[in-house]
């Protein structure tokens, strides 16, 4: 078995879906994991945001736009308007959901997951039906029945052991050997839909590859492979041919948008190679990620946006902040806030964290626990691995830097966002 993953950009229009068909070619024993089409997840996040402010009209308008967007794709694929029953049913469900939901703040994540999951349900339904329509026999599988996750919404992890018999059963004895399933979604033990974190489809594909003992996994993307930097931000970006798991995990963790940070572990555990390949050209080799690759030689620059800097000080001015680390981190964990950089002095602990809905609650709880907390938003975290003086001068110096942390090879800088400087 092989696992292919197609991101939202690669199925954003009918040409993308046709290209997916071309890439699959006559491949057999294949699980195809697909993300929501184009920017559908963002649109569904807006539907959810409307629901939060009880703006049913706004939610309805967003859904109507999504309907049109998907209809344009199916019309193009089927060379004329087509009523796909299962697509209709999904939209009807989504509309019903939005009509019926009595939003409560405690259930924010639960409703978020139920709503945004429709992106992948729609995309996979269309892809699967289209492939069958053009003669590529396949079976659509419902990953909510195959991935049992933690009882945690919006950023759930998959319980691999419990999911193994479920996914295996779904791909066995089917009479076909090509399967199409959703990235990004699963279900919790209580049966509610969960999502695995934004951009989580890579992780879905990796878990599936692990469970099915896949010979390889490939992520088809709109880039030539893994680059050492985002070319939009750093113009001299170059492609990296080979990476090992360790470097990849470091890169993903620092915010490189190659693949979701959770993707590597399931692959590494079974030594499954991961190919990052250009969607536009099947002949190009892309990047291969596997255990035996040598450490990467070129410098790597990563910019992680949407960060918040928390400066925490114990109110009684005690010099042993270390003793309070456990309190602080477990409190942040309770609000699911992730620290990307930690910096401490005698009485201060500075944390660069991902922005989140719960940041103000966490700050309040820290204050309650006896800490003074200063919060600065609009931050970004720049990581340069293998930095040189020249890279430092070009990209990191002289900007509104709040923290600079350096080891021999890596420098990390927390600074005010470029746009806000
Ligand atoms: N559709 C989801 C997102 O946009 C998951 C994914 O694309 O990996 O975040
Ligand atoms: Mg996506």
Assess contact for 221 and 209: CB atoms under 8 A: no
Please give the model's pTM, rounded to 2 decimal places.
0.87
What tokens were used for 35? 């993300």
Report the atom number in ligand 1 closest to the C-alpha of 199. 8
Query: Given this model, what pLDDT does residue 363 score?
Result: 96
- Of the candidates 15, 142, 16, which has an alpha carbon nearest to the alpha carbon of residue 86? 142
Residue 36 CB–ligand 1 contact under 6 Å: yes
Q: Which ligand is nearest to the CA of 12?
A: 2
CA of 41 to the centre of ligand 2 (A): 7
Assess contact for 59 and 98: CB atoms under 8 A: yes
Report the atom number in ligand 1 closest to the C-alpha of 39. 4
Residue 41 CB–ligand 1 contact under 6 Å: yes
Assess contact for 8 and 126: CB atoms under 8 A: no
Q: Whose CA is nearest to atom 6 of ligand 1?
A: 199
Query: Given this model, what pLDDT does residue 259 score?
Result: 83
Query: Given this model, what pLDDT does residue 420 score?
Result: 55
Which of the listed CATH numbers 3.40.1160.10, 3.40.50.150, 3.40.50.880, 1.10.3720.10 matches domain 2-290?
Answer: 3.40.1160.10
CA of 398 to the centre of ligand 1 (A): 35
Residue 266 CB–ligand 1 contact under 6 Å: no
Assess contact for 115 and 97: CB atoms under 8 A: yes
Query: Given this model, what pLDDT does residue 326 score?
Result: 87
Residue 35 CB–ligand 1 contact under 6 Å: yes
Q: Whose CA is nearest to atom 5 of ligand 1?
A: 199
Range(s) within the chain of domains with CATH label 3.40.1160.10: 2-290
Q: Could you report the average pLDDT of every consecutive run of 10 residues in the chain (421 residues)?
A: 96 98 96 98 97 93 98 98 97 94 87 97 98 97 98 96 98 92 98 95 98 98 87 83 90 76 93 95 93 87 92 78 84 91 89 92 94 94 89 78 91 84 53
Query: Given this model, what pLDDT does residue 121 score?
Result: 98
Q: Whose CA is nearest to atom 2 of ligand 1?
A: 199
CATH T-level topology, domain 300-420: VC0802-like (3.30.2130)
3-state secondary structure of 3: strand
- Of the candidates 106, 122, 248, 246, which has an alpha carbon nearest to the alpha carbon of residue 183? 122
Residue 269's CB: how many other CB atoms inside 10 A?
12
Assess contact for 420 and 332: CB atoms under 8 A: no
Across-strand partners of 194? 186
Q: Which of 48, 183, 203, 252 to mutate to test the pocket of ligand 1 (most atoms within 8 A of CB)?
A: 183
3-state secondary structure of 383: strand
CA atoms of 209 and 32, how far apart (whole Å):
11
Query: Given this model, what pLDDT does residue 223 score?
Result: 85
Q: Which of 3, 7, 182 to mutate to test the pocket of ligand 1 (most atoms within 8 A of CB)?
A: 7
Query: Given this model, what pLDDT does residue 419 score?
Result: 66
């Amino acid at each position: 078995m092989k696992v292919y993953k197609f991101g939202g950009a690669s199925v954003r229009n009918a040409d993308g879906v046709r290209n997916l068909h071309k890439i699959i070619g006559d491949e057999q024993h294949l699980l195809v994991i697909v993300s929501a089409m184009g920017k559908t997840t963002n649109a569904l996040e807006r539907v959810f945001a409307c629901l939060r402010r009880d703006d049913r009209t706004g939610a309805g308008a967003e859904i109507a736009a999504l309907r049109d967007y998907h209809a344009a794709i199916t019309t193009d694929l089927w060379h004329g308007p087509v009523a796909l029953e299962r697509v209709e049913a999904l939209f009807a469900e989504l509309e019903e959901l939005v009509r019926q939901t009595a939003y409560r703040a405690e259930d924010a994540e639960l409703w978020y997951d139920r709503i945004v999951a429709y992106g992948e349900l729609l995309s996979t339904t269309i892809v699967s039906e289209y492939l069958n329509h053009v003669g590529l026999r396949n079976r659509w599988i419902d990953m909510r029945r195959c991935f049992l996750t933690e009882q945690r919404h919006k950023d759930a992890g998959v319980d691999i052991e419990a999911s193994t018999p479920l996914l295996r059963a779904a791909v066995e004895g089917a009479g076909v050997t090509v399967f199409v399933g959703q990235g990004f979604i699963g279900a919790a033990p209580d049966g509610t839909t969960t999502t695995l974190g934004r951009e989580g489809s890579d992780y879905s594909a990796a878990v599936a590859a692990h469970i099915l003992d896949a010979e390889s996994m490939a992520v088809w993307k709109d880039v030539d492979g893994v680059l050492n930097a985002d070319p939009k931000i750093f113009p001299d970006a170059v492609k990296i041919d080979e990476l090992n798991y360790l470097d990849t995990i470091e890169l993903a963790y620092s915010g490189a948008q190659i693949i979701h940070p959770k993707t590597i572990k399931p692959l590494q555990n079974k030594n499954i190679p991961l190919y990052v390949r250009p969607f536009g050209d099947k002949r190009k080799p892309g990047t291969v990620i596997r255990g035996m690759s040598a450490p990467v030689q070129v410098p790597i620059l990563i910019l992680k946006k949407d960060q918040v800097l928390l400066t925490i000080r114990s109110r009684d001015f005690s010099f042993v902040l270390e003793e309070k680390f456990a309190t602080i981190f477990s409190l942040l964990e309770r609000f699911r806030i992730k620290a990307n950089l930690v910096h401490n002095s005698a009485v201060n602990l500075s944390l660069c964290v991902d922005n989140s809905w719960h940041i103000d609650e966490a700050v309040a709880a820290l204050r309650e626990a006896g800490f003074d907390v200063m919060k600065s938003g609009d931050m970004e975290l720049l990581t340069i691995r293998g930095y040189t003086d020249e890279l430092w001068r070009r990209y990191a110096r002289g900007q509104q830097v709040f923290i600079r942390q350096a080891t021999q090879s890596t420098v990390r800088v927390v600074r005010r966002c470029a746009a806000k400087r």
